[in-house]
Amino acid sequence: MNKETISKLNKSFEESAYEQDGVEFWLARELQELLGYSDWRNFVNAVDKAKESCKNTLETISDHFVDVNKMVKIGSGAERKKDDILLTRYACYLIAQNGDPKKEEIAFAQSYFAIQTRKQELLEERIRLNERLHAREKLAATELELSKNIYERGVDHAGFANIRSKGDWALFGGFTTSAMKKRLGIPENRPLADFLPTITITAKQLATEITNFNVQQYDLHGESRIKDEHIKNNQDVRGLLGKSGIKPEQLPAEEDIKKLERSVKSLDKGTEKKKLKGKN
């Protein structure tokens, strides 16, 4: 496929895209023409195969294929309804994958939507990573605030470590911090939270935030009273998670957050270098 053809097809695909509420989509009737299908029924067969592929990837079909009707003129000012389908970029990718790659339009579409879909996946992955990093930073800040707060109320460093461990025991259904590290294969000298999923980090942060609030609200003093308060709050948060069928101790460990943090910084530096090169 020569550069001129690629440029022409790229322009056609880009100009055919619509956007609503931040969601990009294509209309099936227009995509039919872009992919070189002369018959609507043949194109619908390709759509049906794409829906099956969507189902097999555990995606919700209705999130990517939305049936719609539009009015079209048929002469003398009369109109009639015409079936159409709103297609997400992922739906278009699946349709293209079910086409004949010998056709230039199909071959182009397979690469075009595959690349763009991958970009979307990378973006979503980056967002999830940032959410986990931010949750971890927030937990660290909340724990630091609690340690300072209870130090003024007669609790030393060892006492704070015990309070935090008892909180983990309550949140993880009887597994102590050390037991959870063994369960998840985490080195004993590393913080448990660095390997937890975002939902668990957030749960720990919420329980700690409540403890911090109540310590000040009720003027709690001493390791014993503050420990009981922290246990109660972690149990309450565990109960909340349980209502959604979530048991923190059963969730698998995630990649070391420190390693991910370094990866993000590396990506940011690479992006910044590209921006500087673009300006020169």
- Judge if 131 and 95 occupy the same domain: no
- Judge if 76 and 134 occupy the same domain: no
Residue 274's pLDDT is what?
41
Q: Which residue has the tokens 């990009």?
A: 24
Instruction: Kindly state whether residue 71 falls inside one of the protein's structural domains.
Output: yes
Residue 271's pLDDT is what?
45
- Judge if 176 and 249 occupy the same domain: yes
pLDDT tens across 82-121, in order?
A: 788 899 888 988 998 887 777 888 888 887 777 766 665 6
Whole-number Å distance between alpha carbons of 28 and 41? 12
Are 52 and 97 in contact by the 8 Å Cβ rule? The answer is: no
Alpha-carbon torsion, ordered 126, 131, 137, 139, to 10 deg? -150
Answer with the one of 99, 117, 142 that is the final residue of a domain.
99
Which token pair is 108? 């182009």
Top-confidence range, 16-30, 62-76, 161-175: 161-175
Instruction: Kindly state whether residue 275 falls inside one of the protein's structural domains.
Output: no
- Judge if 171 and 261 occupy the same domain: yes
Q: How many domains does the chain divide into?
A: 2
Instruction: Kindly state whether residue 121 falls inside one of the protein's structural domains.
Output: no
Range of the domain at 20: 3-99
Between these two residues, 106 and 194, which has the higher pLDDT value?
A: 194
- Judge if 36 and 94 occupy the same domain: yes
- Judge if 249 and 157 occupy the same domain: yes
- β-partners of residue 84 are 68
Q: What is the DSSP string of 245-277?
A: T--GGGSPP---HHHHHHHHHHHHHHHHHHHHH
Instruction: Kindly state whether residue 184 falls inside one of the protein's structural domains.
Output: yes
CA-nearest of 108, 101, 102, 97 to 5 is 108
pLDDT tens across 138-173, in order?
A: 999 999 999 999 999 999 999 999 999 999 999 999
The Cβ-side half-sphere exposure at 143, using a 13 Å CA radius, reads 22
Residue 273's pLDDT is what?
47
Q: What are phi and psi of 165, to 5 degrees?
A: -65, -40
Instruction: Kindly state whether residue 162 falls inside one of the protein's structural domains.
Output: yes
- Judge if 249 and 148 occupy the same domain: yes
Mean pLDDT across the chain: 85
Helical axes 257-279 vs 104-151, angle rounded to 10°: 120
- Judge if 183 and 230 occupy the same domain: yes
The answer, yes or no, to whether residue 197 has pLDDT greater than 70, is yes
Helical axes 223-242 vs 157-171, angle rounded to 10°: 20
Instruction: Kindly state whether residue 33 falls inside one of the protein's structural domains.
Output: yes
- Judge if 71 and 133 occupy the same domain: no
Average pLDDT on 1-23 reads: 78
- Judge if 255 and 144 occupy the same domain: yes
* DSSP tag of 84: E
Q: Please state whether the predicted TM-score (pTM) of the whole model is above 0.75.
A: no
Distance of CA 110 to the CA centre of its chain: 25
pLDDT tens across 246-268, in order?
A: 999 999 999 999 887 776 666 55
Residue 139's pLDDT is what?
96
DSSP count for the chain of H helices, then E strands = 11, 4
- Judge if 142 and 203 occupy the same domain: yes
Average pLDDT on 226-247 reads: 97
Residue 192's pLDDT is what?
97
- Judge if 21 and 144 occupy the same domain: no
Task: Give residue 278's pLDDT band: very low, low, confident or very high (50, 70, 90).
Answer: very low
The alpha-helical segments, DSSP class H, found in 155-247 are 157-171, 177-184, 198-217, 223-242
Residue 279's pLDDT is what?
47
Answer with the one of 99, 118, 135 that is the final residue of a domain.
99
Q: What are phi and psi of 2, to 5 degrees?
A: -80, 165
Task: Give residue 275's pLDDT band: very low, low, confident or very high (50, 70, 90).
Answer: very low
Which token pair is 23? 């969601």
Instruction: Kindly state whether residue 280 falls inside one of the protein's structural domains.
Output: no
The Cβ-side half-sphere exposure at 90, using a 13 Å CA radius, reads 18
Q: What are the Cα distances from residue 241, in Å, to 56, 171, 206?
A: 29, 10, 12
Instruction: Kindly state whether residue 112 falls inside one of the protein's structural domains.
Output: no
